[in-house]
Amino acid sequence: MKEHITLKADIRKARTPRSGYGLRGIMRQWDLQSMVLPGFICLILFSYIPMYGVIIAFKEFDIFQGIGASPWVGFYHFNLFFESPELNMVMRNTIIISTLKLVLIFPAPIMLALLLNEIRHNGFKRFIQTATYLPHFISWVIVSGLVFSLLSVESGSLNYLLEKLGIIDKPINWLSMPEYFYSILLSASMWKEIGFSSIVYLAAIAGINPSLYEAAEIDGAGRIRKMFSVTLPCIAPVVIIFLILSIGNLLSAGFEDILTLTNNGKNGTLTNVAEVLDTYVYRVGLSEQRYSFATAVGLFKSIINIVLLVAANTIAKRVGGNSLW
């Protein structure tokens, strides 16, 4: 512990003369900067260089000719998308699903983290934590397989249970009824991700200064009072940052989850409620080799997402003083 403190002090001492902006600043702390370099190179290599491919949104990309030689077509693919009869349906589903996710799935891990924090028995707490975050590591293909066999008409355990309890007299085809799709999708997503997402919040809670709790106790606060008056306000900055990020992803309503739960789009009864921007790009763009169209729709989505992100960030900054930048 003591060593740790001295190290920190050393760094602080060392930093002062080396600070400064621009190239001179970088040269002065070359040893520290060189540690950033590998990450920096990776970022450029995998996030920036492939970005030039975005120009195929404005071209009629021919895989044999390559990006350079394909002819320019301007906003043709954007127009195609805006004029397509599926536009309304796709946008509606995207917004419904992501709003539902924002309202129901976003707060769930926060609640889980708060509840976990109140558990006194350490072993039990760890068990719950492990049990809830394990599903995160199962791929969606397997999760949807589990959902299918749980809800299947012929051999599904849910139908079997309800029949034995006398609640229904004929098995229900859960997976082919559009009205149940959102519930199934959201439940599966929540089950899969709740534990893993709560780790961040648990870490934030662990970082709260214990003296705050002690002070609250002296003031006579009970456990619930402490939760609302100490824990929540202390993790609020983290919550706000994640909220901003999820708002920025509003048009990314999901892809693998929807694709696998609709049996790769084979289950036609669900198209009307399940087709979202990403599955549409996959089905109409990539599967039909219309790469330019797929890129145009993807680019449109990214632009809207950036606008939403900036807007959410600005609002958060004005209102609460918390923001990403």
Partner 1 sequence: MLKKIRKRLFVGLSLILAGSLVLSACSGNSNNPGNEQTNSTGTQTPEVTGEALPAFGEQPLEFSYYMNYDWASPSGYGTNDAVTKWLKEEKKMNWTEIGSNGNAKQKFGTMVASDTLPDVIALDPNTPEFENLVKNKKIVPLDAYYDKYPNLKDLIDPDTMEMMRASDGHVYGMPSWFGSSRNENQMASFGWIVNRKIYAELGKPKLETFDDLYAYLKLVKEKYPDIIPMQDPSEMMIYGGYGDLRWSDSLKEVPVYVNFKTKAIESIFTDPAFKKMKEMTNKLYQEGLVSQDFLTQSGEQATEKLNSGRIAVQTANSITSIGRAANNILQAKDPAAGYDFIPYLYADGVDPATVAPIGFGKLGWNQTVITTSAKEPERIFQFFDWWASAEGQRVSTYGPPGILWDTFDENGAPIDNEKSKTMTMEEKANLKLGWNPLGSWQFHKIGAARVKQNPEKAEWDVVASLFYGKFVKTNNDQFNGIMNIDSKSKLGIDFARMKQIVKDYDAKLVFAKDQAEFDSVFKQYEDALNASGYMDLIAHETEVWKKNREKMGL
b/e map of 61-83 (b: 16 or more CB within 10 Å)? beeeeeeeebeebeebbbebbee
Q: Which listed residue (134, 288, 306, 319) binds partner 1 by CB under 8 A?
A: 288
Q: Closer to partner 1 by CB, 69 or 315: give it.
A: 69
Query: Binding marks (x or -) toward partner 1, 90..129, rule CB under 8 A?
Result: ----------------------------------------
Phi-psi domain of 264 (left: phi exceeds 0; alpha: psi -120 through 50; beta: other) = left
Using CB under 8 A as the binding rule, whether residue 298 contacts partner 1 is answered as no
What is the C-alpha to C-alpha distance for residues 281 and 285, in angstroms, rounded to an integer?
5
Tell me how far, at minimum, the Cβ of 119 lies from partner 1, in Å.
39
What is the C-alpha to C-alpha distance for residues 177 and 265, in angstroms, rounded to an integer?
14
Residues 28-47 that bind partner 1 (CB under 8 A): 44-45
Using CB under 8 A as the binding rule, whether residue 148 contacts partner 1 is answered as yes
With contacts defined by CB under 8 A, how many residues of the chain interact with partner 1? 45
Residues 172-201 that bind partner 1 (CB under 8 A): 173, 175-176
Q: Which listed residue (234, 256, 265, 310) binds partner 1 by CB under 8 A?
A: 265
* R_g of the chain computed on alpha carbons: 25
Candidates 146-154, 194-202, 248-256, 317-325; binding stretch for partner 1 (CB under 8 A): 146-154
Using CB under 8 A as the binding rule, whether residue 256 contacts partner 1 is answered as no
Burial label for 7, CB within 10 Å (0-12, 13-18, 19+), is exposed
Q: Which tokens hold the place of 126?
A: 């760890």
- Residue-level length of the chain: 325
Q: Which tokens hold the place of 226?
A: 């402490």
Q: Per-residue DSSP letters for 243-307?
A: HHHHHHTTT---SHHHHHHTTTTT-GGGHHHH--HHHHIIIIIITTT-HHHHHHHHHHHHHHHHH
Using CB under 8 A as the binding rule, whether residue 152 contacts partner 1 is answered as yes
Using CB under 8 A as the binding rule, whether residue 157 contacts partner 1 is answered as no
CB 90 within 8 A of CB 277: yes
CB 286 within 8 A of CB 273: no
Using CB under 8 A as the binding rule, whether residue 171 contacts partner 1 is answered as yes
Q: Which listed residue (29, 86, 238, 324) binds partner 1 by CB under 8 A?
A: 86
Q: Which listed residue (263, 305, 322, 323) binds partner 1 by CB under 8 A?
A: 263
Tell me how far, at minimum, the Cβ of 76 lies from partner 1, in Å.
11
Q: Which listed residue (3, 154, 169, 179) binds partner 1 by CB under 8 A?
A: 154
Using CB under 8 A, list all residues that contact partner 1: 21-22, 44-45, 48-49, 51-52, 60, 63-69, 80, 84-86, 148, 152-154, 171, 173, 175-176, 263-269, 271-272, 283-284, 286-291
